[in-house]
Each structure stands twice: as C-alpha cells, then as structure tokens.
Structure 1
C-alpha cells in the first residue's frame, strides 16, 4: 500500500483526549472481515468482567444519519456480544452499554454492511440497528436509566482503526461538533463565507460539512509550504458558504517577492476550478457558485521556475465573489536549493501532475503514421487512398476510394461512392430549395493533417453558413448554420446522400446489425437508443455518418448509456419528427436524413451538424498481424514466450498495474517487467483507458472539487469506499474484490483526457511501455489521435488494441460496437470483439462488418467462448492465450510451418479470389505463397455439405496436374486428410478446413 496524505491514527489514552498522529494506519492486531463488520472500529479496554460497561466513542462521523446504522461489539474471544444498548448515537459521538463477560480488548464496529449484486458491480447496504439485547439484561444493566448508567464502569478508549490504511477516515473527514461550529461562526460574525487554506496533504473530502480541524483552527490565516526549484506546487483554499449562497467566485494572485528582489510572477499561478484548457485544446472559463452550507475547495497550482533563486517568497491569493468583500490570504513559499525532476511528477501523491489537466501535448495538425499530407488541387482533396471532390455547396460531389478489395494495396480503378453530389435541401410551400453558393469552396490548409473551408449561401428562405473540415484520416466535419430571414413554415430540411449501388453493399447502425444493406429501411430518433448514424459501404470503400447539433455531448457507454444518453439534436430530431431512410433505386442507393415540418421565426437559427468518415482508413497488414502473438494476462515471461506469444497485455488488478486506469503507483515493478520483456524480444502493453477511474488516484479529491466536469453525475452507491469517502454524486463503476479497487465513471469529454495524454507520455518515456490495451473506452478521436502521437514519439513500435463487449443491447442503447468506436479505428492496430459476440449464429457479412475490422483497415481476434476457429481463419482471426474456450497455439504452429507471414491474404469477399466454392454458405479465403497456398474453408450451412473448389491455377502459380491438397492434423481443429484438387470435400456445419495446396 502507498501512503495516503492526511491519514490519522487516533490514539485515546482516556475518554475525551484525542491525539492525531500524522502517520500511516498501522496493521491492526486482529484482522477482520469487512464484509461482516464494515471498515471502521474503535477498540476499548475492559479491565475486569462486568455485567454492563459504558463506552463513549468520539467518532465525528461524516455519514449523515449514524443513528440509522448498526454497531457491533465483539469481545476478546472474537464472539459478537448480543447484550448491547445504544444509549445515544449522533454524528459527533456514540454511547453504548454492553455486557463484558471477560476482561480484555473489545472492538466496536460502527458501519457494518452487507454486499449484494455482482462482485464487479456490488451493491453495498449498511445494516440498520437491531435489538439483540436480552430484556432482563437491559433492565438490570441500567442502560435505560441515566443515573445508573453514569455510574457504570467505563471502558478505556484505545484507538480508532480501519480495515486498512486506505479505508481509514482522514483528518478532513472528522466532522466538527455543533458547539465548535457555533463558536467558529461567533468568532466570525456577519461573514458570508469563511476561507480555510490547506496544503495538498489535507485535501477537502467533505462538501456539505466542515471538518473538526477547521473549527478548532479557525478561519482565515496564511498559507505556507515549501517546494523545490522547478516543482509544481499544488494547494487549496476551502471556501465554506456559512451564511448564504456565494455567487461567481473569483481568484487573483499577486507576484511572489523573494530574496534580493527576486520575483515569481503571478502568471505562474492557476486556479483549476475557474477554467483552463479543455480536451480539444480550447481555453474555457468555469463559473463557481457555492450553495449555502456547502464547502467548495478551490485548487491552485504554482509553477515554480527552475531558475528561481532559493529562499522565502511572499505574496497573496485573493478570493472574491458577488457582493462579498475580497479576502487576501498571505502566501509564504519556501523554495529550496534542490531542483525537482520533471516538476516532481514522478511522485503522484505530491499532486504536481494537476498541471496536466491543462496540457495541450500532441494537440496539433501534424500527421500520424500511416497517413499522408492532404493534397489540395482546387476542389479535389487527396488523402491516403481516397479523394474527396467538393461541390459548390461545400459537400462532397464525389468520393473515390483507391483501395483494392484485398485491402493490402491500391487498385487501378477507384471505387466511386456517390451517384450524385450530396445535397442539403429545404422544402416549403414554394418548392424544394438546394443549399447553394455563388462561390466555390476556398480550402485553407491548417497543417499537413487538416484543411478547412467556409461557404456562405442560401437554401430558399434560409441563409446558410457551412463550416467544414477534412482530416488526413478521412474525417469530414460539417457545421451547417441555417437562419430564417422571415417567419416561415417549412415542410422539411433534409440531407440526401446518393450512393452508388455497387458501393452500398453492407450497412450497420440505426438499429441494424451488420449485414447486406437493406433495400428499403426507415428509422426514427429515440433517446433510449445510442443511435445517430450508420456506416454503408463495400470492403474497400464506404461512408460513416452521424447527425448532430451544437449541443452534442458524447454519451456514456458500456453499461452506463442511460446514465448519460444522447442529447437529441434539436435540428435533426425536431421533437421526434426526424429520421433516416434508405432506399435502393436503380443505380442509386439513396440515404435521406430528414427532420420534418416546423416553423421558424425571423432570426431563428438551426444547427445541422454532420460528421462523416470515408473508409477504409488504411491498409491491413496481415504479415504484421500474424507475427504478433498475444498473451492477454500477467505472467512469467519465459513461460509466455515458450508458448509462442510475443506481445503481453497487462490488465489492471495485477502486481505491476493494480488499479484500474491509474497505472502509476507501481512504477519500479512495471519498469522491471517491461525491461525484462524487451530483453526477451517481447513487447508489453498495459490496460489504461478513460471510462472509469480507480478510487486510488490521489487526484480524486481534486476531481470531486470540479463538480461534474470529470466525475459523471449519478446516484452514488457501489462499493463501501465510494459511499464512505465520496460526496454521493457519482456513478459507481468497476470493482475488483481481490484488491478492493473501486472506480467511478468518468465524463466522456473532460480535462482528464489531457491528464491521460500526459500520463501516457510519462509511461512511454519512463517505463517503456509498448502500447495500450483499450477496453471499451469513453473518449473520442481527438484524444485517440493524441494517444497515437505520444506513443509514436517515444516508442519504436507502438501497438494499440481495442476490446469491446457487444453493445447491441438495451443496456447500451443498441449501438454497434464497430460504429461506436469507428472514429478510433484510424489510430489503433487490432480489434478484439469480444465478450457477448455471437460467433455461431451470425452471418458472414456480420463477421466482416461487425467483428473483423477489415473494411476499416484493421484485423482482429475472437473472445467469447473461444470464437469459431474455422470461420475466424477466413478473416485471419484466432483467439488469445490464455483465455479459456480456445487455444491458438496449434494454429500458430501451422502458420509458422506454412510461412503465413510471407503469404498474400485474399479474402472470400474479393470478387476474383483464386479459390472459390461458389456457394454463399461455405466460403474460402486463400493465403497465397509462391508454389503453395493455404486455403481456409468455413461453413454457415445448417447441415453437412460437400463442396468442390474452383481454383484459378494461373493466379496461384501452381500446375494442377501435380498439385496436392493436404489437411494437416491440427489438435482441436481437424484430423489429417488428403484430397485431390477436384475432389468433393465434406464440411461439417459450423466448422471447416485448413488445406495446403501445393
């Protein structure tokens, strides 16, 4: 365990005498079962047996209704004492009388709970008081008679203890007694709010009551601390709205004046609560109001220059608010002669990393491999493997994909996606008006990876401004602002995307799983569903689109969608009148996004935002894919290597990465493991994402102080630590019972993304990690790009793989995992889709579009139940070691014996694939080498079938007369067999073959 600042060991020599020692909680002499007794207790000494003993516990509890929570007394023999009377229970203290049949140390547990629900999503309920005392004992004990009770022998209070140091209540969680609060207010008459400066070692943990520490110390005073040159010093000022609500809190700083006229500029200060730089790189201002009775910590940071002269620097921080006199807090910062390494970031508990919240690292328009600089030739924009030609309205007139169907190169003839230019249409009583402009788009270059353009025009009665951009990965972003010049009744505002029939082969999204594109389909907006777009296309060319407005906020995902669902776009949804239709008509496949009838007043503005992505994003690289063999667990490296794996994914809840999404607390262990892997020619990737955050993160109190910017609002609950130490407004997330790690859900768009990027940079530079294992992430492509950039900057061969559980279910809002994460696909290397995916009862087109990743430039692996190894080989997919349900080692051996890394992969979806079955329910993928070919066969037929292979011998470079077709024995996959090229081959339902033709 790591030391937590502010933990307090309370040793009580006698009743009412409390000494608070700044130390770790020491191991208790008697370990207890927290699931039975809770996390907190007082120990008391009983010198001799007695029929009734009195004990008073000065617990100063932060839970609001301690009288409604049970207490349990356990004797020296470890047995629960039944004869207990709760004389008086409130937040400040508890008074009990209990039977003491023997002398010794008794333990009094005061927040016992029971745990229900899934172990990883527990529901902790605190036990209500229960009367277990015998009626005769109650009468004889005197517990209900104040005069008799006062004369009872008194147990000697020994100490407060917690089940471990992390669960212990800190100084900042011991509530002030009412009389102390009253005295504090009396000492500060007529003051609307009281201010309490604190060092980073005492983070504010309670927001609806003040700690005993403040009441006894008093409000105001100065702040003093010390730091090294170059260190980032974090501290806080707690503001208590004691008498009325406080509006519009402001903070200002003076210069700090040091020895011999030296100065630390006021510009070196930051107040994180009042704004900063968001995850997109834009500065923002936050407004802080404090409701009456609430406590608001204001966290500050001082970036001390490395050139600062040692000595004491004095200045002030001034807090003000509307109608409240400004208060200046004197500052005295002692700067030592030593120089901090990396601002002090190597020790997370110093909170120097708070400055990471405002980082702009990798926030630029530079390229990410393998993407190429955008070319601009008039209205034609070129990116890797694709061209977008703009119409006068600023929308694509044509999209060309140069990728070939193998997805490993470019073809001679591009696949054109559009049958006609896209149009935004406005329909009123006068007819249908297309958005148009008198000028052509003037494309401006922002950098090699981004261009933008703006066009002013009109669509009938509406004025229009189109702001658009294209990025090197193929993302087109449109913000269309329509303004009514007069009151008008409209029949519809719609977007038409006329795709070519041959390009619109497959579709997923808008409530449909991946399959052949429907001939006729209609969809409507519904907040219960995480649906605002779709992908339509062929393997080597497609279009993803999403419909949004200016209020778009990324929803939560993976079990939490309904806690923060889609904000229905006012423009497109139009109170449920909007939707999308697909219609196949001749040579066209028309996608129409409509919004229905509405009226607009003069000057009214509507925002029709559209995000589109042109797929595929990049080529697949089968040789690299087959060379990287994954072991998805922490383990002995020599054992892992002996099994054939060379890439190790380190989950959380492991010795070197114990805490979920906070991989910074065992750096020495992690570094040693990574270095040992590198010595063996292996790579190590770690679990680290943004979806939830471990309660072990030292920054958690600071994040709480930021309201719902980073910690998502919610009902609270969950594991006991969260309920006992957080303020209640959160969503309880993943919990690991083995190491008592509990997490809360992060917001999908926040400054924690900036921290995350800096953290990855620190890990890549200082630990040497080779990449990331992402498990259902919550961030978008802006952050994903930055992830890729920082890893590429520090690591020679960064790898990022993404796992997702199947999110097409009511809990997750029926969103396709591939569509949910498609915006991240340009910047990752491999998919693992995943838990709850059905590999047995889904079609080849589902496998292709929902699981494999191939139409988007990725390859992947299987998980649920080990997948289906025969079907998987059609897509180059196996499962991972050491997960149950499948073992890829025998297939890995075959790959190596055949030399699959030197083969050309030609999938069943390629129109001129050299080996075909000419059936739709038994398919073949070929891995072609000079002189030999590995043929993967897999069946979707319901019964055993017999197939003949139709072989393009010239394409394979094999002479048919001398060819042999051999099925090598593969344990768990197939028995050995030999066929002639013209033989009929039996194929079992749901299975297949791996055949070597040579």
Structure 2
C-alpha cells in the first residue's frame, strides 16, 4: 500500500497542567533503501547553519534505543557526520547535528545491516554513529554546563514515516509517555481500565498503552457496525493500571451469541476448556470477542453487556452496541480476512466424529472379534489383543501381554468385566479390569476403522508395592518379523538381540514384513506428534521412570518379542500410574501401483507451473510450494487467493491437478489475525528468545521463536515466520481453512512438508477434504535431519496419505536394500514413493518402482525422470503386475545375492529392473520363471533400450551375463 496513514496533526491532552504532543504519522510514497531501517523522522531546517537542534517525540517501544544508530541524510542522500546526542530514550530523541544546507532532512533511527537468505535472515541493527568532530562540538559549546538548546536554530518535526504501511507503528504502537500514563491512571482512578477497540485496530502492545487511549480515554461503551450473516469480531483491552488482576472472568447478558476467545473454547480434540488469564500490574491484556450475527438478524442497533471481573477486583461492565446493516455476507466474512470472522474457526469441531472415511469401511464386531478393511483383531478377557490378522497374515504368535512384576515375581492378574462401551462404524471401545496381589489394573482400549488401537492402562495400588518392572510385550510371528525400525535404529533387518535406553526423543518402533507388521508408540508425553527437530518433548514419564525404563528385542522359537519396560519403582498405597500406547497395523491399505506409475508429479518450488510441453511426459499433478507468487506466505494461503484460484482454474483446464503447501509448524507474520492469536499468550505461538528479521523485533519485540524467512516480490515484502507451539486451537482453524480452500479455491489436496500434528489431524483433514471433493490427495515429505529416518516418525499418518516423498539428506548409494525397503519405498505400509536427494539412485529406485520428481534438483544435481517415464509409457507399466525381489514368487532372480531384481509383468511382455548393491563390478545371470511370466523362452526377445543418463542400448539374450558396476543397474524388456 502506498497511501498515507491518517494521522494526528497535533493533539493536546490536559490533565491539570500536562500537555502532550504527537507528531503526524505517514507512510512513504516510495519505500527508501531498506537497510536505512523501516522508520524515519522528517525534519525541516529553514536556513543554512552549522548546528541545528531538534527534539523528536518518537514514542518508541524497542529495547535500548540508545544503542541504535542515528543515520541522518539530506534530500539528496548525503549523510551527516556531526551528530551530538543529548537524550535518546523510548520517549524522546534530542540531539544537535550539522546540516549540509537548508531543506528537509531524514533521521533514520533504526538502520540495520543484514542478508535476506532463503530460509533465514542474518543481520543486526547498526551500533551508534561515530562521535562528532571535537572542534565542531567546542565551537557550539555543546558540552558546556550552561548549554541551552534554545540558543541554536530549531529544526521542527514535519512527520514520522514508515517505509511501508506494513512497517508502520501507527496508531496502536505509538506509545504513551510515562507522564501521560500516570496522569490517565490518576484521572480515571480505577484499578483497571477498559478500552474497546474495533477489529481494524488490533491491540499490539502489552507493555504500554497507545497514545490513542490517552486521547480517547477509557470507555464502558463499544459501538460497531455489522452485516447480516457476519461473524463480527471486536476487542476489549484490559489495562491493569494499579494492581495485578488474577484470573479474569468474562460474562455476558443480553445475548447468547457472544464468545470470548481468550478465556476458553474448544480444544483440538473437541473438548471444552477454560483458560486462566492473569494480567500483571501495568500490563495490557487484549480480549477478543466474536458475535454470531444471523442471516435474519433484526436490523438496527442491538446491544448486550460484557462484564469483566477478576478474583481480586470488582467487576466492570462494557455496553456493546452493534448496528446491524441491511446487507448480507454470503460467507460470514471469511473471504475478507481483515474482518477476523475466521476466529470462530478456533473453536470448531469440524471433522471430529466416529465415522469411517474412504477407503476404509465400517468396523464389524462379533463377540470379541473386530474386523476392519485390512484384517481383524481378537481380544482376550483382559482387553488385550489375543490375535491379529492383517493382509491375510497372522501377526501375533501369542497374545500381547502387559506384565506387572514385583519382588515375588510376575504377578498373576485375574481378568474380569470386559465390556464394550462404544460400538459404531468408526470406533469400537472397551474397558476391562484385572486384579493382582495388592493392585488393580484397568484397561481402557479402542480400535478405529484404520487399524489403529489405542490403550491406556491404569495401575492402581491397594497397598505399598516394590515393583520390579511393568512392561509391555508384543510376540510377533517370526515369519513376519523381517524388518525393524525405531527406538534408536534405522530401518533394517530385525536384529537378533537389541537393548535401548530412552534417549533421542524417540518413543516408537515398527516391526514387520512387507505382508504384515505393526507400529507401537508409547504415549504419555506432553507432545504426541512426529518428533521433529522443533519439538523436543520429554519421554513418557511412566515408561521412562527416570531412565530406569527401556526397550529390548529378543527371539525365541517361532516368535520375536518386542518389550518396552519401565523398571523398578516403589508405589504407595492408593497411588496410580497410567501406561499408554498405540498400535497401528500395517499395511494400512492395498498398494496401488497404477496410481504410482500413472499420476506423476511436477515439483518445482519456485516455478510451480509446468510448460504445456511438460504435460506430454505424463505429469498429472503439480505441487505449489509456498514462497512463490502463487502461494507466497508460509502456512497462510488466504492472502493470495485470487492468484491461486486463477492458477488452479487454468491448470485444471489442462487436465492437471493442483496441490498446495499448507501446514502448521510455523506461521507467517503477514497473517491478519496475528495480534488476535498473540493475545492468547503461548497457546498458539511458541515462546522464544526473539530476534530475527527487523519487523519481528520491532513489532513482536519478545517472546517468539524465529523460523522461516523469505523475501516476497523482490524486497518490498517479507515472509518472516514464527513457530507455533504444538497442539492447540490453531489445529481447528487449520482444518476449517483446509475445507475453505478445497471449496473456494478448488485445490486437489496438500503437499505436507515435515508437519508436526498427530494422526487425529490427518483423519480430520481426510474427512473434510472428502466431504467437499472426494479424491483429494495428500503427499508427505520429510528428511533424516532429526530421527533415524522419517518413516517411523510418520507411520501414524500412513492411513490417510496417498504418496511418500522421503529422502532429503538420504545417501541412496550407501543405503542397504532393507533400509530402502523400510525407510524409503513405503511398500510395507501399502504405499509407494518418489526419491529426492541429489537425484536419488535411478537404478535402485526402479527396483522399488520409484523415480525422482520432475524437474526437482538438489545441490546442483538435475533430476529428470522423463526418459525413464518414456519407457514406462512404451511398456504400459501402469497396467503391469509388480513383483519384487522381496516376494517369494518373484519370477526374476539373479545369481548374485547383492544384485536384486523386480519384475513388471504384462501380457506378453515383462519389464525387468536390476540393481546392484555389490561393492565391485559384477557379472550376473538372470534366472527367469518363464511359466510365471507366461512366456516361451524359445520365442522371446530381450531389449536393453537407450535411456539418457541411465543406460546405453545394447543387445542381450537369455543366456548372457549382465556386467553391472557398483550402485548401477539395468532396465530390460523381454517380449
């Protein structure tokens, strides 16, 4: 915006003899060079002189203004060298300088130096200017004890300017002086003051009142205007003028359609909650309210009362008068973010229900057996799984066991009272009790339609017990314990013996084969989402037990046992401990190889639009990252809606699906609701040490954690994000935002990049997308930067996503086949994926049906899969039957254990992918089950086609050897 902000030209406010001045505020017609800082004072020197005095009532809120440089230039940009400081603090800037001539001068009072890198900003404010010339100082007696400023020519302030409208402090960050605050408090003579504000003027400061309130005084009446069918938002700021206010309470009379977002709401699990809000003496607490105006609301002025009280203070009442205008909003105001109507999304329960979502079917329970899409679980009288069958495989060798061991040995627990408490399509729940010597065990369990089982086990003592151990043991059929990952181990073969103590933050593991497996996550920590590098929660306390707990793997006979133990502890009579865990059966769905080969991704972060020529390569989906003109602001795609809708409509007309980047972990500083969310304390935004890009330092000041940074449209706008604080009502907002985007922008799904919410969010996301537009897509990206690999961190997401894109920081050439299988391919979980880092390894990737995305590149390595895609299309791989080396009946094998082959079997032809993990060049022979692929070896022909950057074409016959160099391989067609 290049307009001038309305300003006070000159205001006087009198309490007795007090006189106060505020300078005019404006926005620069054209932004000046950025490193001069975002704020300047424009002053006038009426005639040539060697020294001129100025006094600026700049009313700053930044810390230590005396430590920042004064950079003064004339209209031509020539910098002033002689500046003598008299007083520099938050209220006033008073100094003498030597002007170059008469005219207008600019005082830049927050200049900085820094670099705008992709992802972060690196810089700082400039330190104070050099001392002035001593001769000049002495000539004008600036250090003389009897120096008087009025003896010098005066340079009056014309105005205070901000570089852009977004940088402006006016009016809500133009602070009152200490004298003005004191006078106001004395004049009002109340322990706390109320200041109503329109949503157009979000309260930004909590450490000082704005001068605007000094001029307007406190009030017990708010007047606003609303339209029919609008969700109308407004504020009441509470200023704890004379004392601390403990536990603010807000009540309403005259309306049942009002919400105060600061004192409570609906949490991310759909449960009502209240918040304790205290206000320290001298601080401000903005309270945000929402009023639900119906489509048929009575026109004219409607009123209700808001009463605000505290435990230690008498209540005050605000009369709210809303003039309802004869005009109706079609969408409650949601398409105009400045209205703040979306704040009601914070308390939404959208997507929270017990109904299954496609492709999953309804649960069926017969007795103690519960069936779901991929198999069934049978319970015993204790409420634990007695057997698990998934993908037609028996997973458990013996029942799952929860053991309490005391000094007397493993305690016998007598089960009783297994009863089902919920039995619907999406969830079956049960409770069971067990009695042991001196304790009771309470099992609270449930199973959901996606193959997830949730348990909370309460151990309650009747007498003092010296417990040797409490542990969970999961005995898995050895035939289905091929692979393992988690609890400190990367994905690989199941180890014969393994011991682990709590470290990392790691809290889960997966054990299984391609056919059947399960993930187990230990619950009870204060954070339950994927353990990413931004969230470092403590381990679940009951399991951790001051590091007496741990994990071990062992094998005996036909079973392998995964045991989580908690170690020794003493429990007093009447004490209770909760042990929670979650199980997820895998694979989560049937594998869709057609989707993998037919629906190819275009993925270019900066340029999300492919060329029309690119579409000929079979691209069907494009991902629109953030930080580009289509979707510029991280995790807030509601500002650039028009550009996004135009993009979506255009590419839909060309047959391309469009997904966007939209997650939660961090939020742009550009979002209109920033100050409303900030008023919620640390509920939405994480606390932190501050710093970062100057805009954050100047407006948020403190208590925030710097995250993503990116310049937008050159240098005039910046996306400077701060971290969100984990699970909160922002989850509810996000879900509603997703539904809004699918409905109003017609996106086809989301690209998820290292997101931090838990599985319940994925379930809600899938439900709201399917309700509006069935067939929406979710693909998930992550890296190795924190965990031993993302597959275990994100297993809980797998029932609800369509595609994996793991591999940032992966070294594909050094990864073993078992690591590829578990961490990269997605195959054991019913998924498939794409490669990422440095182009991946195209030979090994094809063994798992993977290529890179076009035209992605990393570290200067171009990743172009189109020549491989040509072979796919020529062969019609999408309709072929994929049979990998991991299958017992794979029709193609080699005579070398470190050279693996996968067959794509079609009617009358087969595509063979061969890749080497041998450390040296080897010659291998193919062993082909001709009957299995339906071919007569006497009639077949082999072809090794030329594929750019992959292989040179060559002749080949069934008796020939393939010579394969390390990390490489071949694609062969036999027909």
SS in 1 for 2:435: strand
Q: Secondary structure at the match of 2:114?
A: strand
Is the contact made by 1:16 and 1:58 (CA closer than 8 Å) also made in structure 2? no
- Partner of 1:938 in structure 2? 915
Q: CA deviation at 1:303?
A: 0.4
> By how many angstroms is 1:781 displaced?
0.9
**Residue 656 of structure 1: CA displacement?**
2.0
**TM-aligned CA deviation for residue 745 of structure 1:** 0.8
Cα distance change on mapping 1:8 and 1:612 into 2, 3 Å? farther
1:994 aligns with 2:971: yes
What's the secondary structure of 1:355's corresponding residue?
Answer: helix
Tell me how far 1:138 sits from its aligned partner.
Answer: 2.1
Partner in structure 1 of residue 236 of structure 2: 237
Q: 2:505 aligns with which of 515, 521, 530?
A: 530
Q: Distance in 2 between matches of 1:622 and 1:298?
A: 53
User: Which residue is equivalent to 1:901?
Assistant: 878
SS in 1 for 2:873: helix
C-alpha spacing 1:556/1:736, structure 2 compared with 1 (3 Å): farther
CA shift, 1:570, in A, is 2.3
Aligned to 1:804: 782
1:875 aligns with 2:820: no
- Secondary structure, counterpart of 2:889 in structure 1: coil
SS of the residue 1:717 aligns to: coil
Task: Give the 3 Å change call, closer, same or farther, for CA 918–246 of structure 1 in structure 2.
Answer: farther
Quote how far apart the aligned CAs of 1:873 are.
0.8
Equivalent residue, structure 1, for 2:961: 984
CA contact (8 A) 2:598 2:618 kept: no
- Give the structure 2 partner of residue 285 of structure 1: 274
Q: Determine if contact 1:632/1:881 at 8 Å carries over to the other structure.
A: yes
Where does residue 596 of structure 2 map in the other structure? Answer: 625
Is 2:410 the partner of 1:432? yes
1:410-449 correspondence to structure 2 within 5 Å: 414-439=392-417, 441-449=418-426
TM-score of the aligned structures, taking structure 1 as reference length: 0.93
3-state DSSP of counterpart to 1:960: coil
**What is the SS of the residue equivalent to 2:165?**
coil
Give the 3-state SS of the residue equivalent to 2:768 in structure 1: helix
Instruction: Check whether the contact 1:484–1:601 (CA below 8 A) recurs between aligned residues.
Output: yes
Partner of 2:383: 394
1:699-710 correspondence to structure 2 within 5 Å = 699-710=673-684
Question: 1:763 is matched with which residue?
Answer: 741
- SS class of match (2:389): strand
Report if aligned partners of 1:467, 1:479 keep a CA contact under 8 Å in 2: yes
- Matching residue of 1:222: 221
Partner of 1:512: 489
Matched, 1:849 2:822: yes
Partner secondary structure for residue 967 of structure 2: coil
Task: Supply the distance in 2 between the matched residues of 1:26 and 1:42 (Cα, whole angstroms).
Answer: 11
**Aligned positions of 1:30-179 closer than 5 A:** 31-34=31-34, 36-115=35-114, 119-145=118-144, 147-179=147-179
Corresponding residue number in structure 2 for 1:263: none
- Greater mean alpha carbon deviation, residues 766-775 or residues 582-591: 582-591
Equivalent residue, structure 2, for 1:570? 541
Q: Distance in 1 between matches of 2:423 and 2:852?
A: 42
Equivalent residue, structure 1, for 2:441: 464
Q: 1:479 aligns with which of 429, 452, 456?
A: 456
Aligned residues: 957
Partner of 2:573: 602
Any idea what SS the aligned residue of 1:979 has? coil
Deviations 1:329-354 (A, max 9, x none): 11110001111111111101110000
- Structure 2 gaps of 5+ residues are 13-18
- Any residues of structure 2 matched to 1:813-824 within 5 Å, and which? 814-824=787-797
8 Å CA contact 2:617, 2:870 repeated in 1 = no
Q: Per-residue deviation at 1:502? A: 1.1
Please give the alpha-carbon distance, in whole angstroms, between the structure 2 residues aligned to 1:2 and 1:241.
Answer: 37
- 1:303-362: CA deviations, max 9, x gaps? 011111111012211101112111011111000111111111110111000000011111
Deviation string 1:648-689 (CA, Å, 9 cap, x unpaired) is 111111222110000011212111111111111111111100
Secondary structure of 1:759's match?
helix
Q: Secondary structure in 2 aligned to 1:961? A: coil
CA–CA distance in structure 2, aligned partners of residues 396 and 664 of structure 1: 46
Q: Give the 3-state SS of the residue equivalent to 2:431 in structure 1.
A: strand
Identify which of 962, 972, 976 aligns with 2:949.
972
CA contact (8 A) 1:531 1:815 kept: no
> What is the deviation of 1:18?
4.1
1:367 pairs with one of 346, 349, 356: 356
SS at match of 1:341: coil
Aligned counterparts of 1:767 and 1:227: Cα–Cα separation in 2: 26
User: In structure 2, how many angstroms separate the alpha carbons of the residues matched to 1:859 and 1:349?
Assistant: 42
Deviation, 1:582, is 0.5
Q: Give yes or no for contact 1:122–1:719 (8 Å, CA) kept in 2.
A: yes
CA distance in 2, matches of 1:92, 1:495: 63
Q: Secondary structure at the match of 2:332?
A: helix
Of 222-231 and 422-431, more deviation after overlay is shown by 422-431
In structure 2, the partner of 1:552 is 526
* Residue in structure 2 matched with residue 589 of structure 1 by the alignment: 560
Per-residue deviation, 1:119: 4.7
- Which residue number in structure 1 is paired with residue 15 of structure 2? none
TM-score, normalised relative to structure 2: 0.95
Q: For residue 725 of structure 1, what is the aligned residue in structure 2?
A: 699
- Look up the SS of the partner of 1:343 in the other structure: coil
State the SS of the aligned residue for 1:638: coil
- The superposition leaves residues 844-896 of structure 1 with CA deviations (integer Å, 9 ceiling, x where unpaired) of 11111111111111111111101111111111111112222310111111111
Question: Within 5 Å, which residues of 2 pair with 1:290-439?
Answer: 290-402=279-391, 414-439=392-417
SS in 2 for 1:437: strand
Cα distance per residue 1:85-110 (max 9 Å; x no partner): 22211111211222111233322111
Tell me the distance in 1 between the aligned counterparts of 2:597 and 2:708: 33
Deviation at 1:379, TM superposition (A): 1.2
Deviations 1:156-193 (A, max 9, x none): 4232222222122131111111111011111122x222
Structure 1 gaps of 5+ residues are: 256-265, 403-413
C-alpha contact 2:665 2:756 (8 A) present in aligned 1: yes
| Deviation at residue 48 of structure 1 after TM alignment | 3.4
8 Å contact from structure 2 (residues 665, 755) kept in 1? yes
Equivalent residue number for residue 867 of structure 2? 890
